[in-house]
Structure 1
Amino acid sequence: MKINSVFNKTLLFVGAIVCTIGLQSCLDDDDNNAYYLRYPNALVTVKGAADDAFFLQLDDKTTLLPTNVKTSPFGDKEVRALVNYSEVNEPSGDYTKAVHINWIDSILTKPIAPDLGEENDEVYGTDPVEIVNDWVTIAEDGYLTLRFRTIWGGSKKHFVNLLLGQNLENPYEVEFRHNAYGDTCGSEGDGLVAFKLDELPDTEGKTVKLKLKWKSFSGEKSAEFDYCTRKAVTPSAAAITAVRSTLELR
């Protein structure tokens, strides 16, 4: 991801992992395992398969077959999720690897929001955020997943959306919107959200630059991501699920 301005790069997950590594020399095996299991080691798409089974799409090419969980904990919804898994020496069939899921937790997964024209500002808001340059801020497998930072007062649910850009010369331009509904006094907090990009034009197998625009606390900003249209969608329906977090989002 290429950011055109500098902002705070405090990395919650990466920082936690670094701290874990630093502590390992002082811990026994049980403690090491406990720390390892505490943090996610992958961002995946949870996809349905035949006979109510499911698999995890790790990136555009790598698929993971869970061996200890037979049906998706999210039902028939396709969602993005954080997961902690371990590779196992078991048959993986048509998938790249067989894995044991230690834990998995979905994040808010949404389609691109409809353009409401003059009502966009009122409905989707213009409240500022910072997009955090983190390992979970990525365009892959037909989704744009974002870690963002803003002020949370805790009195109302915040509303986050992705809109198609209005740039006729660049169909791969999108805009992140945030409506705090007046809940703008409090402390900084981070949220995670994933947007399905199936409304963008097909890149026909090519990798293009996806431009993301957003309003930050210091003005307008943008970032570019490498993006290629997902080659297969299973299932085809867009999924929406609630984020499991202390932050109130919708």
Structure 2
Amino acid sequence: MNDRKAVVIGVGPSQGLGAALARRFAREGLKVYVAGRTPQKLEQIAMEIRAAGGQAIPIATDATVEGEVISLFDSVSGDPGELDIVVCNVDSNQRAPLLETSGDMFRQLWLQNAYAGFLVGREAARIMTRQRHGTLFFTGASASLRARPPFTAFAAAKSALRALAQGMAREFGPQGIHVVHVIIDGVINGERSRNAFTEFVAQKGADGLLDLDAIADTYWLLHKQQRSAWTHELDLRPFKEPF
């Protein structure tokens, strides 16, 4: 029986980053806990992983609800084996000039992008500090580094997530936990972008968007790094982007 585990929270459609990460880790022999808000999507990903010979357990979880995040990690720790990888891939974005940004919108973006990261990171650290090892990933965005209208509220939340990752890396790195903040500096070639930005996707052409499997490969390489030369922050973008 496999005794290595991974948790990917923020899994949506099959052609999305969460699903690509789950499939990548499963190919390496890890039992993957696939977590997100939509049970049907989670079961679909789990079925794909099992069909390819991997192990996957879908667990419906709202990452902004403390009790649900705690329950998720209780389930994970209750199974045999050690927790190698946790990815907080929770993400939400809304477009609005600041004067059109309601308090509820700002709060919701903070909950989904920053508070969820805190909950996931804290519960992952509870397990990993006992093991004295593990990799904790936070998926960031261009907005983690710079705020531009009409996405100022989103940038405020993603910047908070980056600060959380920095603090956790300094606190838990010496305890053997590799904390990584991956900045997705571009548009991912997935279901969400193809549905929402059809013309933009077409204009970018071949290799103009971030490839899902290529991103997942990078996460795995970061996990396998030797601890004398860990990467804390890495940005990924298509070669066509002029920065």
- Asked if TM exceeds 0.5, the reply is no
Which structure is richer in relative contact order (CA contacts within 8 A, separation 6 or more)?
A: 1
Larger proportion of strand: 1
Larger proportion of helix: 2
Structure index of larger Rg: 1
Question: What's the TM-score, normalizing by structure 2?
Answer: 0.25
